[in-house]
Structure 1
Amino acid sequence: MSSAVNQAFGIDFYLGSKDELLTHISGSLKKPYSYIVTPNIDHVVQFQENEKLQKAYRLADKRICDSRILAPLLKSLGIEVKEVITGSDLTVSLLKKANQEKLSITLIGAAEQDVDKLKALYPYIHLYHYNPPMGFIEKPEEVQKCLDFIYANPSDLIFYAVGAPRQEILASMIDSSRRTGVGLCIGASILFAVGSLKRAPLWMQKAKIEWLHRMCSEPQRLIRRYVHDAVHILPIYVKERSGRRRSSQEVN
């Protein structure tokens, strides 16, 4: 499998395919703990100013491109990922694998009703679930409860479903000498996996406008975020492109 990465916006991106990634994950389930993050436009914007998120990304095993909007920006910078691997698609692939192979999953986040749906859809997964309270990442005692739960429930996979940058920061706090398994920061992917939220039709995904479907599905939560990201990604991209041009000219 290719292990090549390339950097943009301060992030080393994984360039391989989803099948290659799944093979890598399968081979890592019994190894010391590692985790995977899924950068998209919102993450890139947050990454520029959030030192804790920067550290979490630096410590991650893989940083996979989650966004069909981000991928063309990377391509214009000379970084061509083999395929966009959305967190939602990867989550479903891992749930199917876990169900078929009767693997165990520790899930941090997600409401009880969605966990019930998950258990019904994937009955052969051994599931450990803990849902921390809102704002937990700012409360050391609540963070410790999450860490204690993860250590107390060894599993093949750890799904962090508490939103960025909380899930990435939490994932980075696990001591790899204390447990095995592969962590994945999945955001709202569980909601899509169990049908609580509907994915965009395939034609919208291929047309790179899944973001529009999501925004229309959750306008109160996403309109402000998408406008914020659109305003901020442009100067970040221009700065990145200008810096790469300067570096190229200096080399020549």
Structure 2
Amino acid sequence: MVDTAAEASDYSSPLPNPDSHHLFGIDFHVVRMADAVEWVMARLQAADRQCQLVFTPNVDHVVKLRDDLAFRQAYERADLVIADGWPIVSASRMLHKTLPARVPGSELVPTVIASGTTDFRPRVFLLGGAAGVGERATQRLLAAHPHLEIVGTDSPPMGFEKSEQESDRIVEKVNQAEPDLLVVGFGAPKQELWLAAHRDRLRAKVAIAAGATIDFMAGEQTRAPGWIQAMRLEWLHRIATNPRRLIGRYAKDAIVFPQLVLKEMWTKK
């Protein structure tokens, strides 16, 4: 039986949230890509400007959540939580709390952008990535969608999250631009912690914690070919293209995640 979605934050949503399943200590919403896009587009066009948070947890998030209380508390403030990882979807089926599909943040953002019509095109702000990455992503997006409004980009310096003054600067810059959609690419858990801490002040309608999505849109990183994704081996492609950063993380996840699945099974019994 599908669990009823709990209120994920202090904000009232303009439309009801999808049902959810409680897995690994957080609530995953039961959605496919089309459902997630419809959810985001509805809130982008709502009159209420209260910022809605979209988090896209993968296996590494689940592993980090095990020991990081602040990270778990940030997830409690999320309005839409979608599974970005086939291992999570597969585990959900084993645990009889089925999530219907993987919904990668790196696909959700460009799909939302491409869903704009002549009646409504979201104003977009790209926050994150190395210096110049946001600008290159903007150029590529505008080449594909000439009528898209990219109202701002920003690349905060390393350690910015420890500076209240720097966070104030970012919030002010975002608010002055008045985006509908705020795409945040700081990496986890930094992006989720920062959004949960500052959402009350942000005047974007929807903020998506999108990991490396800005890098993908800029061409700094490449997605795996479709046939690799179909075989559910995108993780192998990412290791091959960025081994120094990812091989240690993926090795830890491969050891810890099965233990968490077994724990969920035992708890259920």
TM-score (norm. length: structure 2): 0.84
1:36 to partner: Cα distance: 0.4
1:99 to partner: Cα distance: 8.4
Counterpart-to-counterpart distance in 1, 2:199 and 2:243: 38
Counterpart-to-counterpart distance in 2, 1:129 and 1:180: 14
Structure 1 regions of 5+ residues with no counterpart? 246-252
Deviations 1:218-251 (A, max 9, x none): 0000001101111221222221211111xxxxxx
Comparing 7-16 with 166-175, greater Cα deviation is found at 166-175
TM-score (norm. length: structure 1): 0.90
Q: Which amino acid aligns with 2:125?
A: T
For residues 120 and 51 of structure 1, do their structure 2 counterparts lie closer, same or farther at Cα, with a shift above 3 Å needed? same
Number of residue pairs aligned between Structure 1 and Structure 2: 245
Percent identity, please.
27
1:208 to partner: Cα distance: 1.0
Q: Which amino acid aligns with 2:38?
A: T
Counterpart-to-counterpart distance in 2, 1:130 and 1:187: 15
1:196 to partner: Cα distance: 1.9
In the alignment, is residue 103 of structure 1 matched against residue 122 of structure 2? yes
Match of 2:266 among 238, 242, 245: 242
For residues 219 and 175 of structure 1, do their structure 2 counterparts lie closer, same or farther at Cα, with a shift above 3 Å needed? closer
Q: Which amino acid aligns with 1:155?
A: P
In terms of fraction of residues, the more helix-rich structure is: 1
Q: Which amino acid aligns with 1:19?
A: A
Match of 1:148 in 2: 172
Counting only pairs closer than 5 Å after superposition, residues 5-154 of structure 1 correspond to structure 2 as: 5-29=20-44, 30=46, 31=48, 32-97=50-115, 101-123=120-142, 124-154=148-178
Structure 2 regions of 5+ residues with no counterpart? 1-15, 143-147
Verify the 8 A CA contact 2:171 2:202 in the aligned structure 1.
no
1:178 to partner: Cα distance: 5.8
Match of 2:9 in 1: none
Deviations 1:66-109 (A, max 9, x none): 00122101111112112210111112112323586442112221
Comparing 62-71 with 189-198, greater Cα deviation is found at 189-198
In the alignment, is residue 181 of structure 1 matched against residue 205 of structure 2? yes
Q: Which amino acid aligns with 2:156?
A: P
For residues 106 and 169 of structure 1, do their structure 2 counterparts lie closer, same or farther at Cα, with a shift above 3 Å needed? same
Over the aligned positions, Cα root-mean-square deviation in angstroms equals 2.0
